[in-house]
Amino acid sequence: ASSASADIAPQLKVGLVDLQNGDDATEYWIATDNFYAITQYNRSYFYAMSVIDLGRVIRQAREQM
C-alpha cells in the first residue's frame, strides 16, 4: 500500500483498497503486489495494513541504527 502522495510508475499494476474505520473517514490506499501477497495468508485488508505498518517501523528503526 502507498500513501496518496506516492509516485507510481505507469506500468505498475495496482489496486485501490478502501479501509472503512467505523465512524472515522474511510481511508483509501493504493495497493501493489506485496499487499495482495500478504492477503493470500490472511484475507483481511486490516491485517495486511498492520503487516505493512510494522515493516515500515522496523525499516525506520534499522535506518536510525
Residue 64 clears pLDDT 70, i.e. is over it: yes
The pLDDT, as a whole number, for residue 1 is 57
Please return the burial class of 35, using the count of CB atoms within 10 Å of its CB with bins 0-12, 13-18 and 19+: buried
Q: Higher model confidence: residue 53 or residue 4?
A: 53
- Whether 32 and 55 have beta carbons less than 8 Å apart is answered as no
pLDDT tens digits along 15-63? 999 999 899 999 999 999 989 999 999 999 999 999 999 999 999 999 9
pTM of the model: 0.72
